[in-house]
């Protein structure tokens, strides 16, 4: 069997973190050992990376963090944010120079706990996110990520992309089977479904994850923007405008009239990005093919895979866990 990627393993944990883990709730799934830190489940190496980040990251006031539960459209949000911030330098899709044409969005916007702090507690930040403002990303819940921003009232902007959890589950199932070179078998989906429902899954429980950003966006809407994958699909123009405004880079009337928003939507479309050479042939530093980040990008694909019992079970959990919060998943 292929060796698991480093973030799912437990071979890079300091003595101090081992001590911490001994005081935390622990469990395991078919991929490895998990522990629950600040309300969220991590494989041990990822916990080490989270702690490295919390301890050592030096934020700048202008930093922007793109956050999501895995498989919620992170790649898309990264591409759109890059295109919005870079538009002054590139005419939306200048084939010679636009960064999205020569690198995958994950290569341009690093994850704190995957790309930056997984191998080392003190990464050379000049190698990461060289843009101004700096763009970073994470799958950590908001309260954990904010510890790395040090100041409770940090002015850094945070964008959360939320997706129907059943679609995120199907997407994670496909992704996992692909990197493990396995057929997308129903038995793997069933075990992942049970883990999702129990809450004991990587970055789970999903309801607490989304809720941390939902309540953060209600408390401080200037700092945390709560976006939805489904809205990006159904009204990309409106949502891209909203994102640009939140980031502090609103489109001018001239830009709007010149069709720039539609050009950005097209540049960042799944069809366009997945057809680029870099995304057909490139890989992340952990050897994940860039093309595995592009599949269907549809709303409601879960209907092709989950039974009505599974649908009812997950819907009831969502209703119970999020009752009174105003959040729908």
Residues that bind ligand PAP (CB under 6 A): 68, 70-76, 79, 167, 171, 174, 268-270, 273, 293-297, 301
Contact 223, 157 (CB under 8 A): yes
Residue nearest to ligand PAP (CB): 297
Closest approach of ligand PAP to the CB of residue 166, in Å: 10
Distances (CA, A) of 244 to 44, 250, 311: 36, 5, 35
Separation of CA 153 from chain center: 23
Catalytic residue among 90, 98, 106, 139: 139
Strand partners, 289: 283
Whether 211 sits among the annotated catalytic residues: the reply is no
Closest approach of ligand PAP to the CB of residue 79, in Å: 6
CB nearer ligand PAP, residue 147 or residue 301: 301
CB nearer ligand PAP, residue 188 or residue 270: 270
Whole-angstrom distance, CA of residue 85 vs CA of residue 71: 23
Closest approach of ligand PAP to the CB of residue 22, in Å: 30
Distances (CA, A) of 276 to 54, 81, 178, 271, 280: 35, 18, 20, 9, 6
CB nearer ligand PAP, residue 194 or residue 289: 289
Closest approach of ligand PAP to the CB of residue 52, in Å: 20
Whole-angstrom distance, CA of residue 176 vs CA of residue 170: 10
Helices 308-322 and 206-219 pack at an angle, to 10 degrees, of: 40
CB nearer ligand PAP, residue 162 or residue 317: 162
Catalytic residues: 139
């Amino acid at each position: 069997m292929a060796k698991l990627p480093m973030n799912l393993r437990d071979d890079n944990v300091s003595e101090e973190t081992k001590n911490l883990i001994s005081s935390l709730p622990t469990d395991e799934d078919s991929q490895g050992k998990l522990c629950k830190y600040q309300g969220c489940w991590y494989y041990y190496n990822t916990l080490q990376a989270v702690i490295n980040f919390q301890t050592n990251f030096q934020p700048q006031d202008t930093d922007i963090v793109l956050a999501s539960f895995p498989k919620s459209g992170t790649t898309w949000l990264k591409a759109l944010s890059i295109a919005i911030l870079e538009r002054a330098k590139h005419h939306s899709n200048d084939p010679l120079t636009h960064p999205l044409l020569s690198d995958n969005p994950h290569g341009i916007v690093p994850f704190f706990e995957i790309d930056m702090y997984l191998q080392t507690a003190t990464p050379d930040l000049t190698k990461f996110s060289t843009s101004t403002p700096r763009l970073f990303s994470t799958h950590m819940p908001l309260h954990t990520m904010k510890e790395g921003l040090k100041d409770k009232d940090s002015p850094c902007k945070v964008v959360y992309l939320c997706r129907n959890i059943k679609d995120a589950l199907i997407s994670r199932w496909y992704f996992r089977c692909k990197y493990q070179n396995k057929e997308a078998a129903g038995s793997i989906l069933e075990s992942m479904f049970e883990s999702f429902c129990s809450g004991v899954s990587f970055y789970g429980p999903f309801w607490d994850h989304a809720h941390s950003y939902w309540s953060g966006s209600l408390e401080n809407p200037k700092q945390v923007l709560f976006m939805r994958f489904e809205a990006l699909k159904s009204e990309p123009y409106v949502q891209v405008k909203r994102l640009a405004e939140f980031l502090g880079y609103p489109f001018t009337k001239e830009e709007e009239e010149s069709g720039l928003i539609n050009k950005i939507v097209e540049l960042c479309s799944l069809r366009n990005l997945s057809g680029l050479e870099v995304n057909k042939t490139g890989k992340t530093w952990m050897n994940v093919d860039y093309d595995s980040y592009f599949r269907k990008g549809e709303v409601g694909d879960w209907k092709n895979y989950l039974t009505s019992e599974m649908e009812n079970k997950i819907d009831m959990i969502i209703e119970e866990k999020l009752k009174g919060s105003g959040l729908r998943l």
